[in-house]
Structure 1
Amino acid sequence: MVDRVPSMRERLAAAGVDGSSVTAADLDSVDVLTKDELPALQQATPPYGGLVAEGSAVARVFASPGPIYEVQLEGEDPWQWAAALSACGVGAQDVVLNCFGYHLSPAGMMFDLACRAIGATVIPAGVGSVELQARIVADVGATAYIGLPSYLAALVESYDDLGLPADRWLIDKALVTAEPLPDPLRERLVSRIPTVLMAYGTAEAGLIAHEVEPGRGLAVAEHVFVQVCEPGSGVPVLDDSLGEVVVTMAGDGTPLLRFGTGDVSRWQVVDGDLRLAGVLGRVGAAVKVRGMFIHPHQAAQVLEGLRDVGVTAGRYVVGRDGDRDRLTLEVSSDPGADLAAIQEVAEARTVSALRVRPQVVVVAEIEESHVLVDTRTAG
């Protein structure tokens, strides 16, 4: 496999490691490849940065924010999420409302394929049109949910606001991921959906870890080797200190070698098993908003482009409104600029480039800061 993956071959050689017999001890001498490095790596070695094995059967190509081009290989469950679904109780008897997007981002398809691998029926709902989705739940009889926890809360609220029949709410299990699940939100969801479990993964690795019981850590998936490492140095953390989640996996055509996810976690011992404590923050430059990564360089490109409508400066500020992420675009403008046009164009270009809809606010002056500011607290 190493001979067919140029990037892996080069990194092992640079570390002085024999690619034909890599051991766990060898890994520590290999520099961590961070998610933030992927856009430049793919630009330098198009189209996939030398990360896909030569001759692999690529079924689909996705364009995640960055842009990062992610491939789906042929196979029944290429991202290996079926184990997390099974732990949640999802099976062939279920009708699953999949509320991850199918357009360019891989999340919708990765869960769709996992559901089909275990025989479940899928409603490819995506994100948005929550009132329509609530009616679908009642009309079709959905029994399981996959998506953001905050979106599940919005779905429940919409179902009730529409006055839909209580006896037609059949969703009794939910696998949630891509954003935090704080205890108060979990408690609210469980009052309506008996089984709510958290999972963690990335577009590159697929499933990394998942709950097998609520609130007792995330069990590491069988197909990955996970390290929690000191940010920057890549030295593995052997106690319960915080560090970056670093993943290595063999894979059939998309192996990973010391891939730094940018997510922060720590180890915890539960009944003798070593588990991840969840995603507790970020060390990478990218910020995740409503399940989508926003990269600072992309935010800067949008802001620079807005000069043609009179924007003089701007920044994106990420916060929370209750359970839901909030993205605010603060901009200042030239005297006499058309403020309505600025708001319309800024919103449209942000949605197009970053795939998250912002609230655009015109202010007198922008504070000196980064173009992307995250005001949320972990948990």
Structure 2
Amino acid sequence: MNDHYDALETRQPVQREAELFSRLPDVLRKAMEAPAYAERLTGTDPASIASRAALARLPVLRKSELPALHKAVPPFGGFVPEPLGSFGRLFTSPGPIFEPEPAHADPWRGARALFAAGFRPGDVVLNTFSYHLTPGGFIFDASARALGCAVIPAGPGNTEAQFELIEAYRPVGYSGTPDFLKILLDAAASAGRDVSSIKRALVSGAAFPKSLQDEVRSRGIDAYQAFGTADLGMVAFETPAHDGMTVNEDLIVEIVKPGTGDPVAPGDVGEIVVTSLDPHHPWIRLALGDLTVALPGASPCGRTNMRIKGWMGRADQTTKVKGMFVRPEQIAEIGRRHPELGRLRLVVTREGETDIMTLKAECVLISSGLQDQVASSLRAVTKLGGLVKLVRPGSLQNDGKVIADERG
């Protein structure tokens, strides 16, 4: 049995990088046929965007912006170059955000994630993600069928009916949230129903802590995690190494400083930004609002693509201080004004009935003059007064937080 979905997964990283960026200019040209991208990328020569450094100069599109953009120019905010009728299905997610499903095979790029989790052609898969309006159920359904699996479109809930399906069809695989997998297993044990055919699982959409991982494993199920979104499908997935998540092929993933489009230093936590190379529905630097960190080295499983630790929190740490919003973009602006500073963290506390802001900033040469200058920038940028505390490099935790609200 092959260990890898195809040869793309084990090619040399330099070969992958060259191939991705050789395709990117054509994808950019296609994206710029959509009016919103044409406006955002005005003056961009697609042929010149042939490296990560060049890509990093393009503006990010924040997922948090999409609901307003989609409302202003329905249904897709002017970011989709193809007509509605060219897509297979049309969905909505909370926001609302509207998502089209491309009509080609494996539109959500999920077959290789299922393969990495041990699913194989001919397997029967119980898919418990919702099939109603949102794309979750269809992401895993289309991915499993692209791999050559038969799918039971169960959706969530109604465990009694699911037991009947499981006992009749004997699915070997499960896809759904880890929470519902536990509900299903517990309910089956209580009711004396046989769900022992399920031997592997690909879970997503909720936290999968080690305690739950151990419990699922103790019940004879080998479970893997996937990180995906309704916009892009599968972004990254666990492999048999269980050592981080491998980024999917045909995607360019960057990790940037929250509130900016600037790549972080190697090993730093930052926000996930994705560029997809599907010309039918391209995404150019879509900032997902999720934090992660890139892991060094290649995966022990033999896959050579970039690996990320997985979901590590939200990048949008906007908070309200004294009635005014303070955003990560503003903290990033202070960093730009003072390049001698390293990592920054704005800590918000409360004394009595008063909000207190303290900007902690790493720097090599600590001085009262620099402290005063940074305090002036803090006031100018946020329109709020605050304290500044200069600290030695490495003092602040590498967790991607630039605003920490500690008011309880």
Q: Same fold (TM over 0.5)?
A: yes
In 2, Cα distance between equivalents of 1:155 and 1:5: 44
Find the partner of 2:49 among 19, 22, 25.
22
Structure 2 residue 75 is matched with structure 1 residue 50: no
- Give the conservation status (yes or no) of the 8 Å contact 2:256–2:272: yes
**Residue identity opposite 1:77 in structure 2:** D
Paired position in structure 2 for 1:155: 184
Task: Tell me whether 77-86 or 56-65 shows the greater mean CA deviation.
Answer: 56-65
Paired position in structure 1 for 2:89: 60
Paired position in structure 1 for 2:166: 137
Find the partner of 2:314 among 264, 279, 282.
282
Task: Tell me whether 91-100 or 3-12 shows the greater mean CA deviation.
Answer: 3-12
In 1, Cα distance between equivalents of 2:316 and 2:156: 26
Gap change, CA 1:252 and 1:193, over 3 Å in 2: farther
- Give the conservation status (yes or no) of the 8 Å contact 2:32–2:41: no
**Residue identity opposite 1:87 in structure 2:** A
5+ residue gaps, structure 2: 1-29, 319-404
**Residue identity opposite 1:8 in structure 2:** Y
Paired position in structure 1 for 2:365: none
- Give the conservation status (yes or no) of the 8 Å contact 1:200–1:209: yes
In 2, Cα distance between equivalents of 1:147 and 1:285: 28
RMSD of aligned Cα (Å): 2.1
Find the partner of 2:123 among 77, 89, 94.
94
Gap change, CA 1:207 and 1:149, over 3 Å in 2: same
Kindly state the Cα deviation for residue 285 of structure 1 after the two structures are TM-superposed: 7.5
Kindly state the Cα deviation for residue 111 of structure 1 after the two structures are TM-superposed: 1.1
In 1, Cα distance between equivalents of 2:175 and 2:145: 13
- Give the length in aligned residue pairs: 284
**Residue identity opposite 2:78 in structure 1:** G
- Give the conservation status (yes or no) of the 8 Å contact 1:89–1:173: yes
Paired position in structure 2 for 1:211: 238
**Residue identity opposite 1:159 in structure 2:** A
Gap change, CA 1:159 and 1:214, over 3 Å in 2: farther
Q: SS at 1:4's partner residue? A: coil
Paired position in structure 2 for 1:257: 284
Find the partner of 1:246 among 258, 273, 276.
273
Paired position in structure 2 for 1:146: 175
Q: SS at 1:256's partner residue? A: coil
Q: SS at 2:59's partner residue? A: coil
Q: Deviations over 1:146-195 (max 9, x none)?
A: 01111111111111111124xx5111110011122111111111112442
Paired position in structure 1 for 2:145: 116
Q: Deviations over 1:276-299 (max 9, x none)?
A: 00001112379xxxxxxxxxxxxx
Kindly state the Cα deviation for residue 20 of structure 1 after the two structures are TM-superposed: 4.1
In 2, Cα distance between equivalents of 1:193 and 1:223: 33
**Residue identity opposite 2:156 in structure 1:** V
**Residue identity opposite 1:198 in structure 2:** Q
Paired position in structure 2 for 1:266: 293
**Residue identity opposite 1:190 in structure 2:** R
Structure 2 residue 47 is matched with structure 1 residue 11: no
In 1, Cα distance between equivalents of 2:193 and 2:82: 52
TM-score (norm 1): 0.71
Kindly state the Cα deviation for residue 251 of structure 1 after the two structures are TM-superposed: 0.8
In 2, Cα distance between equivalents of 1:49 and 1:220: 27
Q: Deviations over 1:31-54 (max 9, x none)?
A: 221111001111222211112123
Structure 2 residue 110 is matched with structure 1 residue 78: no
1:216-365 equivalences in 2 (<5 Å): 216-271=243-298, 274-284=306-316
**Residue identity opposite 1:110 in structure 2:** I
- Give the conservation status (yes or no) of the 8 Å contact 2:272–2:289: yes
Kindly state the Cα deviation for residue 270 of structure 1 after the two structures are TM-superposed: 4.5
**Residue identity opposite 1:59 in structure 2:** G
TM-score (norm 2): 0.66
- Give the conservation status (yes or no) of the 8 Å contact 2:124–2:172: yes
Structure 2 residue 41 is matched with structure 1 residue 33: no
- Give the conservation status (yes or no) of the 8 Å contact 1:17–1:26: no
